[in-house]
């Protein structure tokens, strides 16, 4: 907008300057005709009269020509003296500068052509008002752009600060609320479990209801724990870094999820280099891999396979979890890591909260890594966890 405005001002100003300059030299040319006195030989110029018009001899000039275009006399600054006269306006450059001319045909009282009068004005491009305007507009535009950029940066910083403050408050509220809810939920689950254990003579309906309460309490506890992990995912890891053995992580996952995979008829396979170690939070790294394995088992039908293998170079560790399950539709892939998002094909089939993959990516990024997915419907999915051997905070 600033550039468009500057160009509009510039073109309007230049057009006005050209119009004023042409109006002045055309008036000067008419003044030159007023100084002409016709005679039998042609005409003579009365130097004492220019029709009341003053001639600026340093920048303006008048030239008179006979009907054959031969110069008769001139006054003032006339760099166009060697040029043949042509009726109308002209502009050209000369050693003295840019020259604007305006030529009129001289006619006697009977209307016969008797010669020409040419008015000219010379100006130096270095002192051209248009150039001065260009410099002013350029400086003004730069100042406006700088001021706009600074103002925009300050406004953006202020807006981001307010958003960040709101986000921090929301995160603190989520963490506080999740922490406070753990106690009542644990009490609810414990009460239901004690009632089931100490009153075996309950009616089948009451027994079923207490089991539902205990199950829902466990689900709520897991959801609250997930929310607490997400709320704390951006905190510094300086006090949480330990040496994590990948063999131990894999062994724990096999112990925890092996029975569930066997009960469903899913083959669980592990493979990778032994003895690998990285720095990080052991519980969180195990939670990331466990979420991926649990997700793979959930979406793999009986007779399918879930494979977990890991490799490392001098800088990074990669853990790959591949399944032969139902796969993910291409339009769903960009959203699989969104919080609480679940594909329509699994909304009613699984019991997940829609936070597992979101938590996995959040914890991976907290360790300076990332989590990616590749999938085709009907061909299974492959999740790749990439982690630095040493988080950025350790250099």
In this predicted structure, what is the pLDDT of residue 271? Answer: 92
Smallest Cα–Cα separation from 229: which of 353, 385, 386? 353
Residues 288 and 385 in one domain: yes
DSSP class of residue 340 equals: T
Single out the residue in 60, 93, 127 at which a domain terminates.
127
Residue partners of 296: CB distance under 8 A and separation at least 6: 306, 321, 322, 323, 325, 381, 383
pLDDT in the model for residue 81: 53
pLDDT value for 326 = 86
Residue recorded with tokens 């699994």 = 346
Indicate whether 371 and 388 sit together in one domain: yes
Q: Are 192 and 161 in a shared domain?
A: yes
pLDDT tens for 118-171 read: 888 887 766 666 667 777 777 887 888 888 888 888 888 888 888 777 767 766
Identify whether residues 302 and 386 lie together within a single domain: yes
Tell me if 236 is assigned to some domain. Answer: no
Give yes or no: residues 21 and 120 share one domain: yes
Does residue 237 lie in a domain region? no
Q: Which of 177, 201, 231 is the last residue of a domain?
A: 231
Do 7 and 104 fall into the same domain? yes
213 and 317 inside one domain: no
Residue 83: per-residue pLDDT: 67
Q: What is the pLDDT of residues 40-84, one digit of tens each?
A: 777 888 766 655 556 676 778 888 888 888 888 888 777 655 567
Q: What is the pLDDT of residue 310?
A: 95
Domain that holds residue 14: 2-127
For residue 88, give the CATH number of its domain. Answer: 3.30.450
Do 157 and 271 fall within a single domain? no
Boundary residue ending a domain (83, 101, 127): 127
Question: What is the CATH number for 220?
Answer: 1.10.287
Domain match, 252 and 335 both: yes
Same domain, 349 and 312: yes
376 contacts 326 by C-beta, under 8 angstroms: no
What pLDDT is attached to residue 348?
34
| Structural domain contains residue 291 | yes
Burial 246-269 (b: 16+ CB within 10 A, else e): beebbeebeeebeeebeebebebe
Verify that 293 and 186 share a domain, yes or no.
no
Within a domain: residue 270?
yes
pLDDT of residue 343: 59
The answer to the question of residue 28 being in a domain is yes
The answer to whether residue 189 is domain-embedded is yes
CATH number of the domain encompassing residue 259: 3.30.565.10
Residues 255 and 354 in one domain: yes
Residues of the chain with pLDDT under 50: 344-351, 394-395
Using alpha carbons only, how large is the chain's radius of gyration in Å? Answer: 45
The total number of structural domains in the chain stands at 3
Instruction: From residue 311, give the alpha-carbon distance in Å to each of 1, 3, 126, 345, 388.
Output: 54, 55, 71, 33, 12
């Amino acid at each position: 907008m600033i550039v468009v405005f500057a160009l509009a001002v510039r073109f309007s100003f230049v057009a006005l300057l050209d119009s004023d300059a042409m109006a002045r030299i055309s008036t000067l040319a008419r003044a030159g005709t007023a100084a002409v006195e016709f005679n039998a030989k042609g005409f003579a110029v009365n130097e004492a009269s220019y029709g009341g018009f003053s001639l600026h001899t340093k920048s303006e000039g008048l030239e008179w020509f006979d009907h054959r275009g031969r110069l008769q006399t001139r006054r003032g600054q006339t760099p166009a003296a060697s040029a043949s006269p042509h009726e109308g306006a002209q502009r050209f450059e000369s050693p003295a500068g840019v020259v604007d001319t305006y030529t009129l045909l001289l006619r006697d009282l009977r209307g016969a052509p008797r010669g020409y009068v040419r008015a000219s004005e010379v100006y130096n491009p270095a002192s051209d008002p248009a150039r001065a305007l260009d410099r002013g507009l350029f400086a003004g535009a730069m100042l406006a752009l700088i001021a706009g950029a600074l103002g925009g940066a300050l406004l953006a910083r202020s807006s981001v600060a307010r958003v960040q403050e709101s986000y921090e408050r929301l995160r603190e509220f989520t963490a506080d609320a999740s922490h406070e809810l753990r106690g009542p939920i644990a009490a609810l689950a414990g009460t239901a479990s004690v009632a089931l254990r100490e009153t075996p003579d309950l009616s089948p309906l009451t027994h079923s209801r207490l089991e539902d309460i205990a199950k829902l309490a466990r689900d709520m506890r897991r959801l609250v724990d997930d929310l607490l992990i997400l709320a704390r995912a951006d905190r510094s890891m300086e006090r949480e870094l330990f040496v994590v053995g990948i063999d131990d992580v894999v062994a724990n996952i096999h112990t925890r999820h092996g029975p569930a995979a066997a009960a469903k008829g899913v083959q669980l396979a592990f493979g990778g280099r032994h003895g690998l170690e990285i720095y990080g939070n052991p519980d969180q790294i195990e939670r990331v891999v466990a979420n991926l394995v649990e997700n793979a088992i959930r979406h793999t039908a009986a007779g399918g396979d879930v494979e977990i293998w890991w490799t490392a170079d001098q800088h990074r560790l990669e853990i790959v979890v591949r399944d032969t399950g139902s796969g993910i539709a291409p339009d769903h892939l960009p959203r699989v890591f969104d919080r609480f998002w679940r594909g329509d094909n699994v909304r009613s089939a699984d019991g997940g909260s829609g936070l597992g993959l979101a938590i996995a990516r959040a914890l991976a990024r907290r360790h300076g890594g990332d989590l990616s997915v590749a999938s085709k419907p009907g061909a299974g999915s492959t999740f790749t966890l990439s982690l630095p051997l040493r988080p950025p905070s350790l250099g």
